[in-house]
């Protein structure tokens, strides 16, 4: 456990809490966190997760734009649901991404957990895009992914990060309940 991991973890909790609250400042704070975690995962030889942080950086900017300028009135997107087609298409892309990245990591790197890391990374991208679009389905996917990330990080000895992802799981449950309630009440 390093000071970098401690700071990144604290920023992560703050960023996810702001996301649950639908506060647009979650995105710039998240950008700082993912850049820090890129280095942490490089150092831990979790290369898929390291690459994921780079993509997350771009998605943080996309989320910031969506939440501040997106939507039909260009004043930010509102919480919504995915269509069945959109859900299946996104999960299919996540599966293809997991297979391709897993193969690359298992074949060409010394990654510590190539297939597990790749699958979690690919589906995290799906969840992150859904979050940027304020799709309520992002939260149940995050719950599943966060629990699986806890197991991965425990295996790799990243105990503080495992604890962070356990906390992310609780925040995701809260986010799911909050966004569903806000959508039902029209408070978005």
pLDDT digits (tens, 9 = 90+) for 131-185: 999 999 999 999 999 999 999 999 988 888 899 899 999 999 999 999 999 888 7
* Helix, coil or strand: residue 135: strand
Tell me the pTM. Answer: 0.86
Alpha carbon distance 67, 130 (integer Å): 12
- Give the per-residue pLDDT at 187: 57
Indicate the pLDDT class of residue 46, thresholds 50, 70 and 90.
Answer: confident
pLDDT higher than 90, residue 99: yes
Name the CA dihedral angle for 92, 93, 98, 100, rounded to a multiple of 10 degrees: 120
In percent, the amount of the chain with pLDDT more than 70 equals 98
The string over 55-90, giving b where at least 16 C-beta atoms fall within 10 Å of a residue's C-beta and e elsewhere, is ebbebbebbbebbeebeeeeebbbbeebeeeebeeb
Higher pLDDT, 26 or 50: 26
Alpha carbon distance 147, 152 (integer Å): 9
Distance set, CA 27 to CA 1, 100, 110 (Å): 25, 28, 32
């Amino acid at each position: 456990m390093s000071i970098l991991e401690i700071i990144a973890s604290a920023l992560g909790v703050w960023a996810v809490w702001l996301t649950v609250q639908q506060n647009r400042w979650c995105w710039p704070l998240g950008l700082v966190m993912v850049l820090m975690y890129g280095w942490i995962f490089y150092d831990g030889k979790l290369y898929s997760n390291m690459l994921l942080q780079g993509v997350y950086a771009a998605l943080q900017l996309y989320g910031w734009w969506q939440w501040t300028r997106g939507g039909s009135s260009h004043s930010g997107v509102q919480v919504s649901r995915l269509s069945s087609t959109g859900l299946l298409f996104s999960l299919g892309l996540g599966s293809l991404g997991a297979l391709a990245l897993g193969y690359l990591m298992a074949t060409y790197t010394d990654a510590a957990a190539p297939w597990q890391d790749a699958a979690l990374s690919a589906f995290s991208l799906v969840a992150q895009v859904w979050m940027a679009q304020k799709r309520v389905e992002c939260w149940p996917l995050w719950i599943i992914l966060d629990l699986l990330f806890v197991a991965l990080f425990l295996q790799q000895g990243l105990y503080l990060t495992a604890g962070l992802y356990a906390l992310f799981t609780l925040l995701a449950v809260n986010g799911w309940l909050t966004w569903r309630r806000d959508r039902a009440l029209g408070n978005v």
